[in-house]
Amino acid sequence: MSRQRWWVLPALPLPSWAGVNLQGTTISHAGWGTGLGYLLALASAMIWANYSLQTKRAALTGKKFPTAAIGLFGMLSGLLSLLCHFALEPQVALSGRDWLLLAVMGLGPLGAAFFLWDKALKLGDARQIGILSYLTPLGSTALLMLVTGRALSWSIGLAAVMIIGAAVLGTRTR
């Protein structure tokens, strides 16, 4: 197996992170300040990376859990999210349509994404899957632009180039 250059691994997320931020994605609207928002996002990324690596390690050692268990993980994280909402955020009244949309999103694209991520990690190359995941913010932004009719701006174009550049950089080997 070929090895990546030493500088690639620490530098790999930087262009993608910068690209996502250039798209206008910020966490400062959470009301806690930008610094805390970015710190929480970094903690979430570390937790997700650890989960992904441990899932692959468990699959390689034969101690894997069934992919169907992802549904339970999703349900528990959804309940924890609701508890955090009630404890930390201003209360809002959700209509029946809102609850239906939340359920469809959880069972549809979000649930499918977690299920397919787990399956891909167990069966594929975790490095390549991680690099492909860089394209997610780009795809969601393109879909949002298509649905809303928003024009391509220079910042979104630059973000796309940076995200794709990071993905290409991640595939380079000696």
Residue at 63 is within a domain: yes
Q: Which residues, other chains included, contact 137 with Cβ-Cβ below 8 Å and sequence gap of 6+? A: 16, 19, 20, 23, 25, 163
Residue at 1 is within a domain: no
Residue at 2 is within a domain: no
Residue at 93 is within a domain: yes
Residue at 3 is within a domain: no
User: Rounded to the nearest 10 degrees, what angle do helices 135-148 and 13-22 cross at?
Assistant: 20
Quick check: 1 pLDDT over 50? no
Sorting pLDDT into bands at 50, 70 and 90, what band is 55? confident
DSSP state of 31: S
Sorting pLDDT into bands at 50, 70 and 90, what band is 6? very low
Which residues constitute the domain of residue 76? 8-171
Predicted confidence at residue 154, as pLDDT, reads 85
Predicted confidence at residue 25, as pLDDT, reads 47
Residue at 134 is within a domain: yes
More confident residue, 117 or 41: 117
- Percent of the chain past pLDDT 90, that is, above it, reads 2
Residue at 157 is within a domain: yes
Residue at 163 is within a domain: yes
Predicted confidence at residue 18, as pLDDT, reads 55
Quick check: 88 pLDDT over 80? yes
What mean pLDDT is predicted for residues 23-27?
47
Indicate the number of domains in the chain. 1
Could you give the 3-state DSSP secondary structure of residue 24? coil
Q: CA angle, corner 107, sides to 104 and 110, nearest 5?
A: 100
Q: Hey, what are 62's tokens? A: 């034969």
What mean pLDDT, rounded, does the chain reach? 76
- Overall pTM surpassing 0.95 (yes/no): no
What mean pLDDT is predicted for residues 108-131?
82
What mean pLDDT is predicted for residues 94-114?
83
- In whole angstroms, what is the distance from residue 72 CA to residue 68 CA? 8
